[in-house]
């Protein structure tokens, strides 16, 4: 039973890690395209500072959750 719970937690951890990786890659792609186009400032202005900060905060919160999950998995093992 404990092994099954551990497998579930590992699967949940993996899903969150993939989701965070996807967010980070999207943000990095956005940044690379904007810098290459030399229009980072105008893109940020069009996107809005609030939307950009919301994206950054979402990534930060997701990373905190992931780190908490890693801490719990380490304690279980």
**Per-residue model confidence (pLDDT) at position 53:** 79
How far, CA to CA in Å, does 13 sit from each of 18, 69, 70, 73?
A: 9, 6, 8, 9
Dihedral sign computed on CA atoms, order 31, 19, 64, 47? positive
Given a contact cutoff of 8 angstroms between Cβ atoms, the answer to whether 13 and 72 are in contact is no
Banded pLDDT at 69 (limits 50, 70, 90)? low
Q: What is the pTM of this model?
A: 0.44
Give domain status of residue 65, yes or no: yes
Q: Note down the domain range covering 48.
A: 22-76
Residue 11 lies in a domain: no
Give per-residue pLDDT as tens, 47-68. Answer: 777 887 777 777 777 777 777 7
The two three-digit tokens of residue 77, written as one number: 């093992």
- Taking only the tens place, the pLDDT of each residue in 21-35 is 787 777 777 777 667
Q: How many domains does the chain have?
A: 1
Q: In this structure, is residue 68 part of a structural domain?
A: yes
Q: Give the pLDDT confidence of 1-19 residue by residue, as tens digits.
A: 667 766 777 777 778 778 7
Given a contact cutoff of 8 angstroms between Cβ atoms, the answer to whether 13 and 52 are in contact is no
15 and 54 Cβ atoms separated by less than 8 Å: no
In a domain, 5, yes or no: no
């Amino acid at each position: 039973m404990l092994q099954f719970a551990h497998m579930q937690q590992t699967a949940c951890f993996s899903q969150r890690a993939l989701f965070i990786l996807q967010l980070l890659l999207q943000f990095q792609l956005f940044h690379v395209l904007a810098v290459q186009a030399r229009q980072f400032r105008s893109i940020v202005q069009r996107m809005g500072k609030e939307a950009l900060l919301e994206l950054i905060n979402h990534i930060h919160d997701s990373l905190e959750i992931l780190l908490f999950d890693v801490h719990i998995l380490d304690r279980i093992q």
